[in-house]
Structure 1
Amino acid sequence: MTVLIDIQDVSFQYPHSSKSVLTDVSIRIKRGEWVAIAGRNGSGKSTLGRLVTGQLQPTSGSILLAGDQIDSSASDRIGRMRCGYVFQNPDHQFIGATVWDDLAFGLENYAIPREEMLSRMRKYVAVLDLEDLIDQAPHQLSGGQKQRVALAGVMVLEPDVIILDEATSMLDPKGRTEVMNALAEISRRGVTIVMITHDMEEVMQTERLIIVHEGQLVADDHPFKVFEEDHLIQEAGLKRPFVVELQQELGKADLPLHGQCRTEGELIKQLCSFPLNK
């Protein structure tokens, strides 16, 4: 896979602040990857997401998207179209009176021809299972439905990468499941996803976990590999997911499972088939 996002020695400091939020961060994300960026509050992970989308400009270093420098200027419409951003609160993204109108709004702003607009809208309404919601007002939907509509509003623009900033933190378990299932479907279609989160259960759905601590990158590997580092997890103020902790304890007791379980459902299935003579 080719490199899509190339973050090179990026530092960032807000105006009138005496401390850098990020210091010499370098990350390469390949096209089609699903990456989680985690860290405690104030670690700099959300700032990193805003830098990648061009909402902020690095104090030093550079960020390339598909080889092109990301520009925070208002004139960089193409750059903004190539990098979609889903907010923590989906209500901040809605413009249209109905879901259908809301999906059309961004496409109209970019002067997409009408037939192409309708084709894309129908496509992503189907992908995100929104057929029964298109005539409803976005603000009247449930939390999970709102985030799926917000995702569709980004997907219709067909960006190179989608960045989600704590997009499930305000949702109940049902809403989180809806959004994570939608992300899994988007990932299967080859879209690059960068998910900024503090939820360690969610990162198990991804193939790569990056941890930012006090403005610096301290880990970048498969989630299972990262969670093996006791000192690192403690220092970053994070907690292992239950599925990881149980698998690690079973391994210590010489009762390893066959393969790694990412979800509680997978873990339960393996435990139910575990040989009784063990």
Structure 2
Amino acid sequence: MLPALVKLCCGISYPHLRSTTGLQRAAITVIGQELSVLQCWSQIQPPEWRSHEGPEAVLTSTEHNVVNPSHTSLKGEDLFYRCQGQEAMRKALELLESEEGWRPEAAVENGDVIYSKVIPGSRKVFRLEAELEASAEELYDILFVKVEEMHRWNPNIQGIKVLKRIGTETMVTHEVSGKTAGNLIGQRDFLSVRHSSKCKSHIYLGGAATQLESFPVQEGFLRAEEGPTCIVLEPLDQSRCRFVWLLNVDVKGWLPMTLVNQALPQAQLEFSRHLRRRLTSGVAPVLTASG
């Protein structure tokens, strides 16, 4: 598993990654940092809602014997969510570095390109590549630190609420998609663990679906499941950044797969458009569903 991940850093993965040389150089360090914590899974007593799923529900690693010192003060549920967020990031990066199966899906005049790949289970994941007029730190602040403000500039989101914070790098959030006219999939809600990691000038944002005992499925919503998913922010210079987003989501329900595969890349392009508008304005204006 680890040798496969190192291929990402050596520039021998699929051609679209060869253009992201900064990502290749930095990824090996962040992967090492994140994988070093996986040993802590073997030290965790999972929350009661996971104990019935058996040992395969809790990832253990025999490749690393050192626990990241920054996590030694975490216990119980907090440690569980931290490790779950880091594991989601590892799996998402593994998807990004895999060579086989990526195909062009869409491209627009501003340079945004989307690639797709079929994963086991015959479901597609989508990779958006874009160049944005913003620093990695600015994007980190908008997309992670101020995640609860996202509905103010993205009308496709009704709201995001942070339910639990574990330090400054990990959080559990509840997200409700917006009731917009162009939403082909329909309104969904998501309960996710989100994790961030910084390596030199690069920033990584990972996430996946999770459960929270105090926040069960909400009446009136169909709960979709994210992940593993991630965003990679690679600085190009002081004011520009390469934005790489792996979208991996099971929308649930009985929608035709052709409709889902049409809607998800469109949602990525719309997100990019709204994010650019947010960056241009410099503030987070309150938008209506038609904005």
Class of the TM-score when normalised by the shorter of the 2 chains: under 0.3
Higher strand share: 2
Larger Rg: 1
Q: TM-score, normalised by structure 1?
A: 0.23
* Higher RCO, 1 vs 2 (CA within 8 Å, ≥6 residues apart): 1
Q: TM-score, normalised by structure 2?
A: 0.22
